[in-house]
Chain A
Amino acid sequence: MPVDTDIRMIKVAIVDDKQANRISLSEKLTEHKGISVILTAKNGEDFLIKMKESKELPDVVLMDIDMPVMNGIQAVNTASGLYPSTNFLMLTVFDDEEKIFEAIKCGAIGYLLKDDTIESIVDSIRQIIEFGGSPMSPRIARKALQLLMNSRIEKVEKEKSVLSDREMDILNGLVAGMNFKAIAEKLYISPNTVRTHITNIYKKMHVQSKTQAVMIAVKNKWF
């Protein structure tokens, strides 16, 4: 594999309550060039504290959902408000899409299963850095469609979160079980454009209010 010095190192943080998972994932990721694990934490609160102390901020945070003290969803909700430049990917054993969807609304931009191959994990991380988002399952797409079509978000927010026609087409394609390629072919656009659109859709789904979360963080001196 040619060494590409231009490729900037992707800084990754891992939040998982199981030490074994943290170590094995950390080791596997470190093996790949261009990815460095700069922070591991055992739960949401530990993560927030460590983020405060950290000299550099991670680009991507791999966040477990079910954790003691503070779960991944709460951690994402708070941290996405405090660190807008950081991307949060949920990492879970079970694809409980209700929780995943909740995490997405709180600021996550995708999810991975823990048993996914390290290649697919790394691929997802890179895609996030490149396009800003990860693939979206039909279920999440359907929920996103429901949320963004029928949302009762405030007017100001609405302008930001209203779906474009193209985004709508893409979401409908995803719901219909089409992959990026098929969608791209159907819409006469490149698969990468599809990915960019999906990233935008993710961002529009970030509707959970951050204000309160940030206030709690400040109060607890996590920021």
Chain B
Amino acid sequence: MLHENLNIRSYLYLTLIHLSVLLLCMPAFVSAQQLSYKTYTVNEGLAQNTVWDVCVDFKGFLWIGTADGINRFDGDRMHLYASQGTGTSFMRADVLYRFHEDKRKQFWVVSNLGLGYYNRSFDSFSTVYISRQFCSFIGEDDKGRIWIADGDTKILIIDALTKKIVRSIPIQPKLSASTGSIQNSISLPGHFVTTLNDKVILVIDKKTERPDFIYSEEGNGSCIGYINDSTLTSFLKGMRYVYHLRQNRIVTERRVMKNFTHIPSFSSYQYSRGELYASSIFGLYILDKESLEVKRAIFNFSDSIASEFSYIQTLKVAPDGIFFMAYNGAGLKIYSPYSNKFKHYHTSTQRGNMVKSICRTADGKVITGLWGSGLTIYDSVGKYKFLSLGRKNEINSVFAIRNWDKQHVLFTHGNELVWFNHVSGQVLKRIKLQGKAYFPFPQFEQNAGQLLVNYDSSGYGIIAGIDFDKGMTNVVRLKAPNVRCFKWIDSQTCWIGGSNALLRYNVASKKTDTFLRDHIIKCILLSSENRLLIGTTRGLCEINREGKLLHQWTLKDGLINDLIYGILEDKNKALWMSHNKGISRLNLSNNKIQNFGVQDGLQSNEFNTGAFYKDEEGLLYFGGINGFNIVDPEHIPEDNKPIPVSINQININDLPYITDSSCNELRQLNLNYGQNTLSFNFAALEFCRPEACKYRYKLEGYDKQWIESATIHFARYANIAPGNYTFKILACNPDGYWAINPKELNIYIKAPFWQTLSFRLAILFLGLLLVILVINALVNRQKLKAKRQLAIQIELEAERLRISRDLHDNVGAHLSYLINNIDWMKEHPNTLKEYEKSEKLKLLGEAGRNALHTLRQTIWAFSQSAISVDDFADRFKQFALKMLELNESVQVDFEEQLTINNQLNPSQALNLFRIAQEAFNNSLKHSGCSRIEVLFLSTQDCLFQLRIRDNGKGFVPEQYKDSDSYGLQNMLSRAQETGAHLLIDSEIGKGTSITINITK
């Protein structure tokens, strides 16, 4: 880095040409303060641009009476109420709507055709009275009755509750016919005062209910204004009338208004906040109550602008200073102090509005340096004139301007420094800076009593002191080009903002240190508390003297935008920053940030580098692309009223919910199962800055917390489960105040029948019943099983007994006989003769074989769980065949009649087999037969029948019944045991037939 005392050639550059140019470019001052209005016209949905009356009802809706019907604005949409069809309705009127909200919050409308009222829950109007003449609204009395005038013939009193005419008072004598001109009415404690037309004022004593008139042939204006409870005024063509209402008479007083002879009449008066406002074709004024002279103009028009369309037909001023102005042809305009927080000045041409630098002179002028167009000078009352400096394009730009002394300002102009006398309008001196002809980032800075400026010189950044006589002194030459701003914090240290870093320059060592790399530095502020604050394109940075970054405020901390053009500190030590998205205020003590946008009255949201200035009174100036704003930090009007929200549309399953009443009046929404996709359109009832309202909503029972929807005023919920919900909406007004009481709508989605409690209880009951039944069945089954088990056990026991008895009786008998005989033979080896022995052994072998046969039968029977009849038959045949081998003379015939192959249980089978065996043996051995017939029968009815019939000699069964011969006794007892029926049919000489029968 170099530090040189360059010998800059400075020269005076004052020529006649320049002077003449300057003088030529000074036209007359014109008004430059710009007020911000919200305007509603047909473009915004109004039915007509001719508006008669405007009113905000207690719900917060904006009512606008137009020539083509009544509009209700819900913050989002204009609803139109107009008469349709051929029926008679007061709404068929095309002139004069007057709104009146009575004590009971009923909303009345008087048109030239009659009287009607708004049915809030059905969102429609009803007609109460139709007039054939010209209806006028008079007022509401203490009893809550509505008074109207039916033309100039009678006065009607309507009961507000029953909507019936309770009294009709004729007007005597008849006056000249009414015309459809502007009329108004005032309700005083003792009187109603109504202008019937521009010549007649109707005065009614509320006690006597008697009408009286103020009549003037030449006219007295069609509009009256309130001064106090017994004094009224009207105005016509420069003549002011004052009416003093006394007990029994009216005293009229006339005054000439010198300043307003050009005004035909005041079209509307409004007494509000202790001020009397009056509107006319030329603008809006505040009148002095005593003198009735104009105290000041809220705004006024020149003759060229004033027209029929700028004619305010009705003016209403809300308690918080919001003006509603109903125009004759320009719709509705709303002026709000909250959207005019900052004074805004601009010129009528674009070239005068690109403010690059700004300062305020000692005599109260504001001078703005423009891009490419020289200067604009605003006087103390807000009128301006251009000062074109005679060059073109960028070299005619003024990027820095500064007071030099009381009469002079110093500014940069291309590559020159210019001393300019703003009082005389003359250039005092010009100094050419060595370097480029055009450098866009010069700034003036004070250091140690000397004014310094930065500029660019062939690649070097120059910071130099300015001396009116000597030119540039104490030049600091930096290698870094594009020095954008600089700040001396002491005699030795200068902080320099560059295009991509912050530099610290030490005078003694001539060394620089680099900080905040990659930050474009826009401005540097040394606060009153000696804090070093750097405005960058990446937010606000605070650094200490060592260059350490202490804090950085960005978008995340609530800044409206990270790009900071300028920083100014107000008296309260708050920082004001201009961005390219508005202005923000940072309170360093608590880090609270407040943002302002174009809705608050800013010239635009875009501000400019270098265009910021703080005057001695503490007012802050910020220049942008559309003029400049003055910030008075002490007086920022702030709206802290909570704003109501209205629900304007409800969609069920994405189709509009149709209801008799208006959506907003609904308290409860009852829906069926399946109607479970809901969406809501809602809007804050804010009419001046609706776009700056924010919302949060919550569906209680569904959402756990509030949903911040920012400026979106729509919510949608899909597939909500049946149940009870409450939809709640809260709105935040444009100044950041959240409403406390949310707008609420209860929603009930019916459960389908299968989800209802009664159905569930029924199902539960049925379920329980079923469970009980099942348990019961299981228990029974268990019992049955146990029972069966027991039965089986008993059966098994019986079976076991049968087997053991069978073995004992049959096998055991044979075996014991066998053993006894063998033993006897062993003990008596010589007793028997040889042939006897062989006979005996043959018998013993027979006995052994019999034992085995018997055992075989027992095993056959008991090895199976059941024995089919055919099995039985086959076995018996086998047995019979074996027996026949020894008796070849006997022929046996078997016959099977098995229509069903029934089953026998083992013991049955065994017993029957033994019976049959016995019977067969008897026939074979004792009957001397030649033929035996055996029949096996098994049918549907008969479980089993076995018949053995021979053609032998026969016998008399009775003779053998009791003896043991032929085993008859044995057969009978076996049959008995088995439950079989044994029939022995025999006769001497006729053979024997033995039948065993088991029925099912």
Contacts and interface: CB of A to CB of B under 8 A. Distances in A.
Interface of A: 93-96, 115, 137-139, 142, 175-177, 179
Given A177-B877, A179-B881, 15 more contacts: A94-B856, A94-B859, A94-B860, A95-B878, A96-B859, A96-B860, A137-B878, A138-B877, A142-B870, A176-B894, A176-B896, A177-B881, A177-B892, A177-B894, A177-B934
Given A137-B874, A137-B878, A138-B874, A179 B884 contact: yes
B871 A139 contact: yes
Nearest to B878: A137
> Which of A93, A137, A138, A176 has the most CB atoms of chain B within a 10 A radius of its CB?
A138
Contacts of B875: 139
A177 B880 contact: yes
B863 interface: yes
Interface residues of B, number: 21
22 contacts: A93-B856, A94-B856, A94-B860, A95-B878, A96-B859, A96-B860, A96-B863, A137-B878, A138-B874, A138-B877, A138-B878, A138-B881, A139-B871, A139-B875, A139-B878, A142-B870, A176-B877, A176-B896, A177-B881, A177-B892, A177-B894, A179-B884
B362 to A, nearest CB: 126
Contacts of A96: 859-860, 863
Interface string B533-559: 000000000000000000000000000
B849 interface: yes
> Which of B881, B884, B894, B934 has the most CB atoms of chain A within a 10 A radius of its CB?
B881
Given A177-B880, A177-B892, A179-B881, A115 B849 contact: yes
Interface of B: 848-849, 852, 856, 859-860, 863, 870-871, 873-875, 877-878, 880-881, 884, 892, 894, 896, 934
A38 B848 CA distance: 30
B647 to A, nearest CB: 82
A95 B877 CA distance: 14
Contacts of A93: 852, 856
B884 to A, nearest CB: 7
B317 to A, nearest CB: 111
A8 B892 CA distance: 38
A95 B881 contact: no
Contact of A175 (B852, B874, B880, B892): B874
A83 to B, nearest CB: 30
B681 to A, nearest CB: 80
A137 B875 CA distance: 8
B876 to A, nearest CB: 8
B867 to A, nearest CB: 11
Given A138-B874, A139-B878, A142-B874, A95 B856 contact: yes
A179 B891 CA distance: 11
A137 B863 CA distance: 19
A94 B853 CA distance: 9
Nearest to B884: A179
Nearest to A174: B877
Contacts of B860: 94-96
A66 to B, nearest CB: 12
Contacts of A137: 874, 878
A187 to B, nearest CB: 17
Contacts of B884: 179
> Which of A95, A176, A177 has the most CB atoms of chain B within a 10 A radius of its CB?
A177
> Which of B870, B871, B877 has the most CB atoms of chain A within a 10 A radius of its CB?
B877
A177 B893 CA distance: 8
Ranked 7 nearest A-B pairs via Cβ: A177-B877, A139-B874, A177-B894, A138-B874, A138-B877, A137-B878, A115-B852
A142 B870 CA distance: 9
B870 to A, nearest CB: 7
Contacts of B849: 115
A93 B863 CA distance: 14
A94 B881 CA distance: 18
A142 B877 CA distance: 12
